[in-house]
Amino acid sequence: MPEVIVYAQVDDGSINDVSLQAIATARALADGTGATIGAVIAGSGVAALAATLFGYGADAVYVADDPRLDPYVAPLHQKVLADFLGACDVSAVLFPAGTVGDDLAPCLAAELNAACVLGCDNVTTDGNGLAMRRKEFDHKVTTSFRSRGNALVIATVTDGIAATPAADPSRHGDPAPLDVALDEVDGAVRILKRDVVSKTVHLKDARVIVAAGAGVGTRENFGLIEDLASKLGAQIGATRAVVDAGWLPADHQIGQTGSTVQPDLYVACGISGAIQHWVGMMDSKQIVCINTDGNAPMMKRAHYRIEGDVTAVVPKLTRLLEE
């Protein structure tokens, strides 16, 4: 039986990207300890996705394919996982952090009497057990945890904990079906309606991002940002202040409560650079900052700095790109 289990979350018919990062994290743990990696996938119609998990690094794949498991309800997935893990020799279970993972992991840990750490940005082994790290207090404090003895550890891992692995076509195997034993009590809670806002932008894969902060001034000024982004072939990002003001939809938000991005070029327009935003784009390869405040944190961290008003500087940059 595998010693490290990853819960492979399915979103919109495909495997969640952070789940693949969790498999890469588990793979690194296994390479140092000799453990094997198992992936569990649960839902309705998920059997077709299971085989791909071998290519991403899983040694074994376990499938709970049942229409009662979709849409997600915590008690049902908890029951399936608890039954499965109770029969395994497991040292750790990794979930992708997020609405599902952070909901399911504590419930499962309570039932299995396991340790639980949410929001880990690093999971390693030091020979004496698992060592986990997470950021707290708006990323002002780093807290480290270590497992004790042979205790089962359940953790959720954040976006960016590892590079998303490329599928290896030479890795393959036969998924193993899991028995889904649910009764009426398990299914007492039902989802009656679920409205999901469709994504209009995919920031994680963007090579160039033009991001706007409160310094843009008004919603009307976003036409300047859009023109620059168009000339650069860029996606448009935003700070939380911009989203809260209703100037852009939430899927444009970058930072602690938004997307984590790693573009080749990040143009920060009117962004002061608060830590909540910085942690979402700090791995950008080149950062250009446009701000009236030369002492703003983003100006100090940027590779290139333009001190000036966004409404004056951005149109000039756009015209230069047109020449």
On whether both 54 and 158 belong to a single domain, the answer is: yes
On whether both 9 and 130 belong to a single domain, the answer is: yes
Does residue 185 lie in a domain region?
Answer: no
On whether both 221 and 164 belong to a single domain, the answer is: no
pLDDT digits (tens, 9 = 90+) for 286-310: 999 999 999 999 999 999 999 999 9
- Position 197 scores a pLDDT of 66
Number of compact structural domains in the chain:
2
**What's phi and psi for 163, nearest 5 deg?**
-70, 140
- Position 188 scores a pLDDT of 73
On whether both 166 and 19 belong to a single domain, the answer is: yes
Does residue 237 lie in a domain region?
Answer: yes
The DSSP line for 43-61 is ESS-HHHHTHHHHTT-SEE
- Position 37 scores a pLDDT of 94
Range of the domain at 276: 203-322
Does residue 189 lie in a domain region?
Answer: no
What is the rounded CA–CA span in Å between residue 287 and residue 301? 8
Q: What is the pTM of this model?
A: 0.78
Does residue 297 lie in a domain region?
Answer: yes
Residues of the chain where predicted confidence (pLDDT) is lower than 50: 1
What is the rounded CA–CA span in Å between residue 5 and residue 243? 36
- Position 151 scores a pLDDT of 82
Peptide bond into 71 cis (omega under 30): yes
- Position 1 scores a pLDDT of 43
On whether both 68 and 126 belong to a single domain, the answer is: yes
What is the rounded CA–CA span in Å between residue 161 and residue 10? 19
What is the rounded CA–CA span in Å between residue 31 and residue 14? 27
On whether both 125 and 254 belong to a single domain, the answer is: no
For residue 158, give the CATH number of its domain.
3.40.50.620
On whether both 162 and 22 belong to a single domain, the answer is: yes
- Of the three residues 126, 142, 177, the one that is the final residue of a domain is 177
The DSSP line for 183-233 is -TTTT---------PPPS--GGG-SEEEEE-GGG-SGGGHHHHHHHHHHHT
- Position 244 scores a pLDDT of 92
- Position 83 scores a pLDDT of 93
